[in-house]
Amino acid sequence: MHGTRRATRPRRGLAALVAAGSLLTVLTTATPASASTASAPVGGGAEVVCTSKRPGLAPTLSHDLADALDGRRGASALAVYDRPSGTRCAFQAGDHFDSASVVKVTVLGTLLRQAEEAHRKLTPREVRLTTAMITRSDNDSTTALWHQLGTGKVQHFLTLAGMRDTVPGRGGAWGLTQITAADQLALMQLLTAENTVLARSSRGYALDLMHRVAPDQRWGAPAGAPATATVHVKNGWLPRKTNGWRVNSVGTFTGHGHDYGMAVLSTGSRTMAYGVATVESAARVVHRDLQR
């Protein structure tokens, strides 16, 4: 449990944010980009830390995210980026969580990289399996691709993608892959910018599948997204005997000037609905504050 925290509303301006009694600590650095860093504690424990080049955004976003996560049962983590404003946020982003189905984006990335290295296109079978895996979160399709690739190729992709803290699930237990919010955010960034790991065609294929996720699975990160944004999302949910439900969501938002993404992970929820509410409370803050 994140604990209890008395909420205070931030006032505009740096001086107000560091006034006595404020729960927000603001640190400014004299960098060429004039970026500022702000942090806000969640229940007196770990802090949400945000950095942004947009004046006032880091303190507002860190404070609002801390408010959204404060008091929620279980454990959670998040990581956020916004390229236009040079914004990044993190909360327990290095902690490990069971992946559940969000690992399916990693499986897709692994397959696309393997096909590029072999100088081939995806086979009709692979197109069928990847489409079912991402748009409908089909587990049988994921298992088939996981066994086809093997953990060696998955690890190869993770290394290339800089996802150093992700540990593939043993055997066929892909849903128990250990992930971090930071690594998942790195994957979202990889899919939305030029890089040497995945070609433009591969990135476009992955984003198209994430854009076509079934309507009943478009919860989580898209909650509160602006109507002008193109949504790409993948969710994961898994109940276990210990620590309840794992509910995770990763997504990117592009088009019409939008270029940002997030990864929100949670564990220890008594019900799936509670976990979804935890994820969406953070997601709504991100969308709202970035559009101000």
DSSP states of 79-131: EEEETTTTEEEEESTTS-EE-GGGHHHHHHHHHHHHHHHTT-PPPHHHHHHHH
Mean pLDDT across the stretch 147-173? 97
- The whole-number pLDDT of residue 44 equals 75
Most confident stretch, 1-10, 32-41, 94-103 = 94-103
- In angstroms, how far is CA 262 from the centroid of its own chain? 4
Average pLDDT, the chain: 90
pLDDT at position 255, please? Answer: 97
> Does position 27 have pLDDT exceeding 60, yes or no?
no
CB 62 within 8 A of CB 27: no
Confidence of residue 33 (pLDDT cuts 50, 70, 90): low
Give the contacts of 91 (CB within 8 A, at least 6 positions apart): 42, 46, 47, 48, 49, 65, 66, 69, 76, 77, 78, 79, 181
% of residues, the chain, pLDDT over 70 = 89
**Which run of H or E residues covers position 252?**
strand 245-255
Residue 197 makes CB contacts below 8 A (sequence gap 6+) with 109, 113, 157, 160, 161, 190
**Neighbour count for residue 141 (Cβ, 10 Å):** 21
> Is a pLDDT exceeding 50 seen at residue 1?
no
DSSP string, 159-198: HHHT-TT-BPPSTT-GGG-EE-HHHHHHHHHHHTS--SSS
pLDDT of the residue at 289 = 98
pLDDT at position 21, please? 33
Tell me the average pLDDT across 37-65: 96
**Among the listed ranges 25-39, 173-187, 218-232, which one has the minimum average pLDDT value?**
25-39
Evaluate if residue 32 carries a pLDDT over 70: no
- Give this prediction's pTM: 0.88
Residue 22's pLDDT is what?
Answer: 32
Looking at residue 183, its amino acid is D
Contact 266, 246 (CB under 8 A): yes
Contact in structure between 142 and 104 (CB atoms under 8 Å): yes
Q: How far apart are CA 48 and CA 181, in angstroms?
A: 13
Q: Give the residue with greater pLDDT, 232 vs 23.
A: 232
pLDDT of residue 45: 87
pLDDT surpassing 80 at residue 7: no
Distinct helix (H) and strand (E) counts, the chain: 8, 10
Long-range contacts of range 21-29, CB-CB < 8 Å, 24 or more positions apart? 23/63, 23/66, 24/59, 24/62, 24/63, 26/58, 26/59
Amino acid code (one letter) for 68: A
What is the distance between the alpha carbons of residues 37 and 123, in angstroms, rounded to a whole number?
Answer: 47
